[in-house]
Amino acid sequence: MAGRSAVLFLLDDRYRTGSDTPLMLQRVLGVPVLKWLTEALYRAEVNRFFLACAPALLEAAKPCFPEAAELMTSSDENPSDLLHVFLSTASDEEESVLVVTGPVLYLPFHRSRAAGRSANACMVSRQGLMAALDETAPIGHYLRHSGDACTEDDGFFNLGGPEELPEWQPIMNGNYLRVLIRSGVEIWDLHNTYVEPGIPVGIGTTLLPGTILQGATTVGYGCTIGPNTRLVNTKVGNHSTVEQSKAEDAQIGSHVQVGPFAHLRPGTVLEARTKAGAFVELKNTVLGTGTQAAHLSYLGDAAVGEGVNIGCGTVTANFDRVEKHPTVIEKEAFIGCNSTLIAPVTVGQGAYIGAGSVITEDIPAQALGIGRAKQQNKKEWALRNKKEEDQ
């Protein structure tokens, strides 16, 4: 696309659509249409944006622009002065700018059968637009007579109303998935994989069916995500696997294995070469490098050091109905199966906990902690207590 600057007029068209939200701020797959547009333009090397909108729309519109892009906004009835500044500060080599005047999508990978149909966008001379702003005639007059209309052949498509959004949804999602494929990502099913626009996925990563990536999520290279996995505001390192699991506001390091059926809740940090396996739930918990929680465990408000083994069925009892309390497990400790740690409690470096223990006191480094009743075998008890019909 020629030009590195774009001018967007965000219309308050609620009166026309009958909705309480302008069309460009309505959501597709949880993301405002405006963000789909700006992210697509940013990938086409548009990195300067001017937004003109009503004051009531500004707060909702500003987060729709890429963080790395330059953004100037105006909520004045007449944005000419600020727009003139925006245009005059562009690179001297930039001869033309994109102007979007109404609801529109930019889908460069979508091919329409209606060739040549004009959209609510045009390319105009930067110098010519600045000159037009100095005159008294409405800017719309200049755009209609001097703008080079963008068409569906150029990848621009008009939006007629909110009723069209469900039809556009798979096309918009598929357009971004094709961007990822061209960058070296393997996607098994374009119709059952959902990635919000702008989420980066590294080369060599595979997205399996049922994968949903949302918010501020990032995925490194060489990973396998899915099937049936949802990541929200979660950062994943390199060469990690997240299988049939959910993560929210979490950090997953490199060479990490998550799932199947794990739940990483906010505040979870998995450092390199860790494992949160089948039916493991973590909340506000850090697993140090090399630590393994292979299955069927809950760790909440816990700081776990390097090289720790978390046995099957381990639980940190962190809530006393009034406050949440921390558990500290120092490096190289070994937590036996079906152990319950009553917080606040600390397990020292290299310490062991016997399987089936309920731990209520700190365990010193290199010690063995056992908190369970002594087994008693009552001889011939079963013979003496049989039901009459069994005798």
* Count of Cβ atoms closer than 10 Å to residue 161 Cβ: 14
10 Å CB burial of residue 10 (0-12, 13-18, 19+) is: buried
Question: For residues 153 and 160, what is the distance between their CA atoms, to the nearest angstrom?
Answer: 18
Helix (H, G, I), strand (E, B) or coil at 35: helix
Compute the 3-state secondary structure of the chain and give helix, strand, coil in percent, each to the nearest 5. Answer: 20, 30, 45
Sign of the dihedral through C-alpha 176, 179, 181, 185: negative
| Set 110, 145, 263, 295: catalytic member | 295
Sign of the dihedral through C-alpha 347, 352, 356, 361: negative
Sign of the dihedral through C-alpha 123, 10, 85, 108: negative
Residue from 121, 54, 134 nearest 87 by CA: 134
- Annotated active-site residue 110? The verdict is no
Question: For residues 257 and 223, what is the distance between their CA atoms, to the nearest angstrom?
Answer: 10
Q: Which amino acid is at 256?
A: V
Q: Which residues are CB-contacts of 48 (< 8 A; sequence separation ≥ 6)?
A: 4, 5, 6, 69, 70, 86, 90
Q: Are the C-beta atoms of residues 102 and 150 closer than 8 Å to each other?
A: no
Residue from 353, 288, 267 nearest 315 by CA: 353
Active centre residues (catalytic) = 295
